Structure formats: structure tokens, C-alpha cells
Structure 1
Amino acid sequence: MRVLHTSDWHLGRSFHRESLIEAQAAFVDHLVEVVRAERVDVVAVSGDVYDRALPPVDAVALCNEALARLVAARVRVVMISGNHDSARRLGFGASLIDAAGVHLRTDPELAWEPVVIDGVAFYGIPYLEPELVRGPWELDSRTHGAALGHAMDRIRADLARRGGPSVVLAHAFVTGGEASDSERDISVGGVAHVPVSAFDGVTYVALGHLHGRQQMSDTVRYSGSPLAYSFSEAGHVKGSWLVELSDSVQRADFVPAPVPRPVGRLRGLLDDLLDRPDLARYEDHWLQIVLTDPVRPKAAMDRLRVRFPHTLALSFDPEGGAAAVPAPRLAGRPEAEVALDFVREVRGEAASGDEEELLRAAIEASRLKEALA
């Protein structure tokens, strides 16, 4: 059996206010092509299908299209909800959709009831909020380890009766995994991690939640997200795991996904960044840039975007660090003076006449708006 393991689509997400829906649609095209070219039997989607509980309509339409195309390609789909999804909304109509070969597993109580496909038992463990399952499952603690451990104990008990190969889909933070800046914190009482040993006894574990591809063991892997969702993922290779199963994992190959626009990070003096010929390869990237000029340059973003038109984030970290200066007195001072002092401090020189006029006009407009509210 060939299983394509993917996760963390986050349909509907933007990247620093840039829409990603076209890039996500390109990933769906790629996914369907891989299914057909590699004769995939099952697509396992390990949670965070959407980016939020109430996804935008274009994200819902894209998910619908993706599932319809996979069904048309005669592949079975097993999908769980993640911590970004609304389990109730994603799981709507699950019992009816089962008949089409799309198996939505969003109810924790069904985690140990497998979908059996060609002799392989697929168990879908949706994201488990410990506080919500602690009471019904009579857990001793409100940790992810306790919640997932209970589900896995029930799964192993079912496997002991059933026998044969198995696949578990889970959405969790496994100890030793490397996080990025784009995952939502799932800490509960300071305990978010679960040990990889929690998944002992399973042929293959398809993990979701962390956005970088990772191999926690020979049989426990994260596929990561199909696109970069933060600049911390600049070095990631995005894609899916193509896993060949029999009684064990015969092989697992990573299938890279298309990169509509790469992301990158640059750091240095403004003039150097604008002049260095070796940085030409970044001119089509979405960029996060840190300027190290000792004095904050004027119109830095405008100047950067002449060469790097897709610069999205800009910050300043002067070489040598900023010298400590006494904090100016604020109480009783006019707002415009405080703001102009701030400009002088961060830029190393006073605002120009035009800038001062604009700043005073903005403060006055804000005051007038508050008075009329």
C-alpha cells in the first residue's frame, strides 16, 4: 500500500497580509498529480486543514475541490482535525462522506475505531484538548501526554484483537520536534509535549502540527506544512511523505511541493544590501530584512523595495547596540514633543519640517476623532 502523508494545509492563511490562496491551490494541483503519478492508495491529512475555526469561503471552496478531485482520482482520504480547525464544522456530514471514500475523523471518541483499507487499519486521533477529554476519559492529569496516551492505549487494545499493519494520524507536539514561528502554542499547564514512545506498536505514525518535515523515528514522522507560513521556515523543504507499507514501512520518500515564491531573511547595512550583486537571487523572494545601520535610514522600506519588491517585514538592530539613554519625562508634555523625541531617538536626527507637520496633523486628527466619538 502507498500512503501519501500530508498535513497543516492552513487553507485561508495569509503571509504578512499577502494572500496564499493561489499558492495553496497550486499545492492541491501538485497533490493530485502525485496521487496519479505514484499510484497512491490513501492520502492521510494530519490536521490543520484550515487556518481558523471559521475559514473564509474561498478556503472552504478549495478544500471541497481538493477532496472532490482526490475522490475522482480513486484514492481514499483519511483526514483529522487539528488545533486550528473547528472539529464540529470540519466533521459535519462525516458519516455520509465516508461512503465517498473520504473519512473525516474529528470526534475523539472515534479515535480507536479504525478505517480499514485493504487490510491496513487507519486510526485518526484528532487534536485532543486535554481539558475537554479529561472528564469523559477520567484522566489523572490535564496534559497532552495523558490525553494522547489514553487514545493510544485504546488503539493498541484494538490492534491486539485485530492484528495486521496500522497507521495512526495524530496532531500533537512530539518531544524533540523542532518548532517554527507559525505554529499556535498548545501548552496546557506547561506540558505540551508527548513522547515518541507514546506511539509504540504502530506500523506508521503520520504526524501534524509542526511545520517542518521531521523524522522522529523510522516510523514516526511530520510531513510539515506545504508552504512556508513564517520567515523562520526559510530553510525548509516543503512537501509530503510517500510511504510504502506492508507489515512494516518498506520505504518513505519525501516528495517536494512547488514553491510559488520562496522566503528569505537578510541582514546588513542598507547601502550594502542595495549594492551587493550576490543578493540578486533574493529579488523575487518574500523577505524579512534587518538593517544594522547605526542611524535609522530615511525611507528605508521604499528604498529596499526598489531592489527587493517583495520585502514584507523590516526591523532595525544597530551595530553595537543602542547606547542606554535616560528615559525622557513624559507626564505633562505635549504629545507632539514626545513623538518628535521618539523620532530623534530611533533615527539619530530630528524630523524634517514636512515630517513634523505631518506628525502634528496626525495627532490633531486623532484628538478630534476621540472628541467626536
Structure 2
Amino acid sequence: MRILHTSDWHIGRTFHGYATEEHLEQVLLAMAALVREHGVEVVVVAGDVFDHSAPKAEAFALLNRAVARLREAGAVVVLTSGNHDGPARLGHLADFAAHGGVHVRTDLASIASPVMIDDDAGPLALYGLPYLHPALLAGAYPEFSGTTHAEALGFAMDLVRADQAERGCRWVVAAHCFAQNAGEQVRETREDGGLTEERDITRGGLDLVPVSVLEGPDYVALGHIHGRVTFTDRVRYSGAPLRYSFGEKDKPRGAWLVEMGAGEPGSAPIEVTWLDLPMPRQVARLRGTLAELVTPGSHEEAREAWVEVVLTDDVLPHEAMRSLRERYPYAVTLTHEPTNRVEQASRGYAERVRGLSETELLSEFLAFVRDGHGPSEAENLVLAEAIAARDAAEVAG
């Protein structure tokens, strides 16, 4: 059995306001080619198929094209809903789609109802778990009283294990969660306006799921984290097929090819291989003065990339972004971090003004509020005239 593990397509997501559908379609077209090339029998999409709970018609059209290509390449397709998806919308016509080899798992009541797939090694049960919000799970199962995602997934896995024990065959689970090994710190990278922030998601522990909760299956296909992660040979994240932020700059993009042979449930021999996917547009971070960055020949590798720029000029140049986009058409964020800002901030106010004349004090103030850029000659003349006029008024008074 050859299974392709992917996740987090996020159809409809933008890159700092720029549409990504065209790039995503190119990547998913390449994914269909990999399915055909490697004889993949099952494609698993472990949640966050869409980026919004109410996706636009264009997003559904892209999904339909992508799934149709995967089916034409010979694979059964299993999709689960993630925390970004609207389960009801993603699962619309799920029963109908199943007749065509596309299985959409969004219904909490069907957690323990697997997609059954046969090959020369026998049957395989594939359990696609939708994102399990504890409150919604309690609504579907009155006997569940947990409040954390770990408890919700543990409850679901117990249901799955009971069903698998009756079937007695190889089994695979697809789940959308924040999995964590004991003692590890897990961080999520977020970006806003070009600034990167790392958020410690272990705080409170409500979202974290110990990897031990997922023990047992022949393979666990995880979604939710946008970078590939390997906990064990049998428990992995594939990451997203596109880079959706500058924080994902160095994370490879692809999918796991899982080849599974015949064997006892939970210990069937597997071989897992990483398959790269193309990057229609790279991402780049550039830092320097405007003059340095727009110099002909500089940073040629970033000419066609999504670009995040940090300008270090003392004063933000006029229409800096326009100048940058003449060289880097896909520059999308601009942050101003003058080199002098750190130097000035390290000196206290008393130290900066000690022993200064009034003219020097005004000059120091302008330099401080303008990130090191003091008064021009013309401004010095205005300041001198203002001080002289004040002194004359005091004498006359």
C-alpha cells in the first residue's frame, strides 16, 4: 500500500494580502504527477483543506480540480476537516463523493467509521479524524466530559481502537492537532506586518496532545504544523505544500510517501520517503539601507521572490516601497529599523543632555526622535533665530 501524506492546503489563504491560489494549483498539479509516478494508492489530506470556514466558490473550484487530478492519477482521496475548515461546508455531499473514491471526514459521529482499502497485503482501515473541539465532541458524545484537546483525541482514539480491534487489520489514523513529545517546548510562529512573533503554545496546555495518545496505528498522518516533523517512524507531520509566511522561509515543502507491507496490525513494515514539491515563488528577507538594496546586481536571488525588507536608513526614505518594488516586484512588507535606534536607546536621557547648550539640546532632541538624523543647516538657522528672538524678548521685558 502506498499512501501520500499531505495536509494544510489552506485554499484561499493570502500571502500578506496577495492571492496564492495560482501557486497552490501548480503545486497540487505536481502532487498529482507524483501520485502517478510513484503509483500512490491513497492520498491523505490531514485537515485545513480550506483557510476559512466559509470558503469562496473559487476555493471549492480549485479543490474540485485538485481532487479530480488525484483521482485520475489513480489514488483514493481522504480529506479531514481542520480547525480552519467549516466541517459542514467541507463535508457537503460527502456521501455522494464517497461513491467516486473521495472520502471527506468531518462528522464527529463517524469517528470510528474508517475508509476501508484493500491491496495485495489485505485490508487497511483508514480513520480520518476531524478537528476535535472538546465542547463539540461532548455534544456528540454525552459520555465525554473532557475539556482539553488531548482528552478529546484520547477519547476518539479509544473509539477507533475498539473498532480496529474488531476488524483486526492494518490501520492508519489522520489527525489535526498540536502533538508534542514529553518535555518538549512547542512554539508557533506568527507574522503581522512583516514582524515575526513566536508564541509559546504550551501555556495552559489546552491545545497540546502528547504523542503517546496516538500510539498504536501502523501510521499516523498529522496536520496543523506547517513544517515537516518526525516524532517516530510512524508518527509525522507533513507540513503545508506552500510557504504561507516568512517564518516558513527555511521549511521544506513536500509530502511523505508511506509504503506499507503486510504484517500484524500496528507493526506492519513501512518505508517512509520525503517527496519534494516545487516552489512557484521563494521567500526572502533583505536588510540594509535603501541605496544598498536597490543597487543594480544586489540580491539577484530575490528578484522574483516574496520579499520582506528591513530598512536601516537613519530616516525612512520617501516612497521607499515604490523604489524597492522597482527592483523587487513582490516586496510585500517593509519595516524601518534604523541602525542608530539601538545606539540611542542604550543611552539614558540624563547622559544624552548633560552639559549641552540650548542649541545642542535641541539638536540632540531632533536626532533622538528622528532616529539619529539631526537638524539640517536650514533647521539650525531657524533654531538659532528662535533662540535669539526669545532672548531679545526677555531683555526687552
TM-score (norm 2): 0.78
Contact 2:294 2:324 in 1 (8 A): yes
Q: Secondary structure at the match of 1:216?
A: strand
Taking the aligned partners of 1:38 and 1:148, their CA distance within structure 2 comes to: 32
- Determine the structure 1 residue equivalent to 2:320: 300
Taking the aligned partners of 1:184 and 1:83, their CA distance within structure 2 comes to: 18
Pair 1:80–1:310, CA change in 2 (3 A): same
Taking the aligned partners of 2:249 and 2:237, their CA distance within structure 1 comes to: 17
Contact 2:187 2:199 in 1 (8 A): no
- Determine the structure 2 residue equivalent to 1:7: 7
- Determine the structure 1 residue equivalent to 2:359: none
RMSD: 2.9
Taking the aligned partners of 1:351 and 1:256, their CA distance within structure 2 comes to: 55
Pair 1:157–1:261, CA change in 2 (3 A): same
Range moving further from structure 2, 210-219 or 275-284? 275-284
Cα distance, 1:288 vs structure 2: 0.8
Amino acid at match of 2:329: P
Cα distance, 1:178 vs structure 2: 5.4
Taking the aligned partners of 2:13 and 2:46, their CA distance within structure 1 comes to: 17
Taking the aligned partners of 1:205 and 1:22, their CA distance within structure 2 comes to: 30
* Counterpart pick for 1:142 among 133, 140, 147: 147
Cα distance, 1:230 vs structure 2: 0.5
Percent of aligned pairs sharing the same letter: 44
- Determine the structure 2 residue equivalent to 1:291: 311
- Corresponding position: 1:181 with 2:190: yes
Taking the aligned partners of 2:36 and 2:375, their CA distance within structure 1 comes to: 61
Amino acid at match of 1:28: L
Alignment length (residue pairs): 338
Taking the aligned partners of 1:4 and 1:317, their CA distance within structure 2 comes to: 44
* Cα deviation 1:307-354 (Å, max 9, x = unaligned): 22211001122225253779xxxxxxxxxxxxxx99x945666999xx
Amino acid at match of 1:40: V
Pair 1:186–1:45, CA change in 2 (3 A): farther
Q: Secondary structure at the match of 1:32?
A: helix
Contact 1:179 1:212 in 2 (8 A): no
- Determine the structure 2 residue equivalent to 1:122: 126
- Corresponding position: 1:234 with 2:239: no
Taking the aligned partners of 2:55 and 2:203, their CA distance within structure 1 comes to: 25
Any residues of structure 2 matched to 1:131-170 within 5 Å, and which? 131-135=135-139, 136-170=141-175
- Determine the structure 2 residue equivalent to 1:355: none
Taking the aligned partners of 2:288 and 2:74, their CA distance within structure 1 comes to: 52
Pair 1:122–1:178, CA change in 2 (3 A): farther
Contact 1:204 1:249 in 2 (8 A): no
Taking the aligned partners of 1:10 and 1:72, their CA distance within structure 2 comes to: 22
Cα distance, 1:27 vs structure 2: 1.6
- Determine the structure 2 residue equivalent to 1:367: none
Q: Secondary structure at the match of 1:179?
A: strand
- Determine the structure 1 residue equivalent to 2:275: 255
Amino acid at match of 1:282: A
Pair 1:137–1:229, CA change in 2 (3 A): farther
- Determine the structure 1 residue equivalent to 2:112: 112
Cα distance, 1:125 vs structure 2: 0.6
Taking the aligned partners of 2:9 and 2:37, their CA distance within structure 1 comes to: 21
- Corresponding position: 1:265 with 2:285: yes
Taking the aligned partners of 1:186 and 1:134, their CA distance within structure 2 comes to: 24
Amino acid at match of 1:113: S
Contact 1:291 1:316 in 2 (8 A): yes
Range moving further from structure 2, 81-90 or 247-256? 247-256
Task: Name structure 1 gaps, 5 residues minimum.
Answer: 327-340, 353-373
Pair 1:249–1:318, CA change in 2 (3 A): farther
Taking the aligned partners of 1:351 and 1:53, their CA distance within structure 2 comes to: 53
Taking the aligned partners of 1:351 and 1:253, their CA distance within structure 2 comes to: 62
Contact 1:144 1:188 in 2 (8 A): no
Amino acid at match of 1:117: I
* Cα deviation 1:270-293 (Å, max 9, x = unaligned): 333334856221121111111223
Taking the aligned partners of 2:199 and 2:33, their CA distance within structure 1 comes to: 30
Q: Secondary structure at the match of 2:232?
A: coil
Cα distance, 1:128 vs structure 2: 0.8
Q: Which structure's CA Rg is the greater one?
A: 2
Cα distance, 1:258 vs structure 2: 1.3
- Determine the structure 2 residue equivalent to 1:69: 69
Taking the aligned partners of 2:278 and 2:251, their CA distance within structure 1 comes to: 12
Taking the aligned partners of 2:308 and 2:57, their CA distance within structure 1 comes to: 29
Q: Secondary structure at the match of 1:181?
A: strand
Amino acid at match of 1:274: V
